[in-house]
Amino acid sequence: MKILVIGSGGREHALCWKLAQSPGMELYACPGNPGMARVAVCMPGEPLDAALRIGADLTVVGPEVPLVAGVVDAFRAKGLRIVGPNAEAAQLEGSKIFAKNFFIQRGIPTAGYETVEGAFQARLALRRFGYPVVLKADGLAAGKGVVVAHNEQEAEAALETLTGRLVIEEFLTGTEVSFIALCDGRDALPLAASQDHKAVFDGDQGPNTGGMGAYSPAPVMTPALCHRVMLEIIEPTVRAMADAGTKFKGVLYAGLMIDQATPKLIEYNVRFGDPECQALMLRLDSDLLPALLATAEGRLDGVKLEWSDDAALCVVMAAKGYPGTYAKGSEIKGLAEAAREPGVQIFHAGTRRDVETRDRVRILADGGRVLGVTAKGCDIREAQARAYAAVDKIDWSGGFCRRDIGWRAVERDKESSEPAGCAAPLQ
């Protein structure tokens, strides 16, 4: 069987790493990256051309941009199997306004909001909401189109960069959780819960990013709470999309806020989270390929996934200046030594190879988020220690990372013995 993965980031590297463990298959990536090249054949060019050229039996879409642009529609028009929603269903991520209207119409618990256009309308809405408040750009923004303003000055600064149609949203308190499910248009299969770190600096300070690290399991997500999320959020969404004639077939990522064991939906993404995917792939004991095939073919009912009781944690190493302006081309050394740390996998997110001579190949930074240093351990504390031990062996003067990934889970472990995770099948 020939499998094609679309994308070039850390999420796609993690998917390739896991899919490469499936027996009897050939793995390709378009366009791929130097890390993915270790387990897959990397193909430049357009994904549809690549799929037709190799005769792909299944294609998995990693990033959101091609999904919103309609890559799934193009593949299905050619009769090709693909994991991902069509362009209409991808509006759940592609338009914050579409998504919020959908939540309200379908009775899905979410934060109060107003839709505005331009700074004048935004300022009126901000007066009604007060502070803190959340401002969101309507369209895709690579995880950086959301600003939490704690006062008028921060809101005005946000309006300098967030233009066009905006969502002004009630600020929710609690614990933020990433909850991902495979959906086949009718049924949904939950994955293990995870938590990410969106702010760029330690202590959740600074602007939002696409994610500076993640871990799984998420201690706040008891099996009962996971079951409630499925009943109140995921399953109603899948039914509503089907009732509207737009079946959602792909990966549905719910960003949740949990307050006193009550979940509210912050937003949807329509693909695996990044860096959550990196942690999840290390914990997944089952073969991923059969579940993805079932997703594409509409037969998830009865499919089960087995998860390790161990924890996994991903530390993102980013180029200095990210999420703002950053330089490309700095050399990264020490990757092989870092990867020898127990339980560690290093996923490439924004790198390129530079061949100086036959015996001298350099890995250079080529993006904002560049590496996902991911480790598995018996608990979050051990996974954290292993990940940072690997980080400390990477020689990269042009990069930085947060040093506190997983701090919430570590603190919770000190205070509580509640059961954690969402790994067991939910019935």
pLDDT in tens, 194-211: 999 999 999 999 998 999
> How much is the average pLDDT of 261-281?
96
Quick check: is 106 in a domain? no
Residues 403 and 371 in one domain: yes
Number of structural domains found in the chain: 4
Quick check: is 356 in a domain? yes
Quick check: is 98 in a domain? no
- Could you tell me if 384 and 391 are in contact, meaning their C-beta atoms sit under 8 angstroms apart? no
- The least confident of 295-299, 357-361, 367-371 is 357-361
Measured CA to CA, the distance from residue 372 to residue 197 in angstroms comes to: 13
> How much is the average pLDDT of 287-313?
97
Residues 207 and 261 in one domain: yes
Quick check: is 145 in a domain? yes
Closest by Cα among 119, 110, 221 to 171: 110
Domain limits for position 15: 2-85
Q: Report the percent of the chain where pLDDT is more than 90.
A: 90
Quick check: is 94 in a domain? no
Residues 180 and 292 in one domain: yes
Measured CA to CA, the distance from residue 381 to residue 59 in angstroms comes to: 36
Residue 302 predicted with pLDDT over 60: yes
Closest by Cα among 311, 243, 416 to 235: 243
> How much is the average pLDDT of 210-221?
96
CATH number at residue 137: 3.30.1490.20
Q: What is the pLDDT of residue 144?
A: 72
Residue 153 predicted with pLDDT over 80: yes
> How much is the average pLDDT of 366-372?
97
Residues 321 and 359 in one domain: yes
- 321 C-beta neighbours (distance < 10 Å), count: 12
Q: What is the pLDDT of residue 423?
A: 43
Residues 185 and 274 in one domain: yes
Residue 420 — pLDDT band, cuts 50, 70, 90? very low
Residues 158 and 261 in one domain: no
- From residue 292, alpha-carbon distances to 32, 204, 248, 299, 407 in Å are 19, 34, 14, 10, 32
Q: What is the pLDDT of residue 408?
A: 87
Residue 106 predicted with pLDDT over 70: yes
Quick check: is 251 in a domain? yes
Measured CA to CA, the distance from residue 82 to residue 79 in angstroms comes to: 9
- 3 C-beta neighbours (distance < 10 Å), count: 24
| Last residue within a domain, chosen from 128, 154, 170 | 170
Diameter of the chain by CA atoms?
64
Q: Could you report the per-residue pLDDT of 81-98, keeping only the tens digit for each?
A: 999 999 999 999 999 999
Measured CA to CA, the distance from residue 345 to residue 278 in angstroms comes to: 9
Q: Could you report the per-residue pLDDT of 27-61, keeping only the tens digit for each?
A: 999 999 999 999 999 999 999 999 999 999 999 99
Residues 217 and 242 in one domain: yes
418 compared with 225, residue with greater pLDDT: 225
Residues 192 and 149 in one domain: no
Quick check: is 213 in a domain? yes
Residues 162 and 231 in one domain: no
Residues 196 and 256 in one domain: yes
Q: What is the pLDDT of residue 331?
A: 97
Measured CA to CA, the distance from residue 165 to residue 287 in angstroms comes to: 42
Quick check: is 344 in a domain? yes
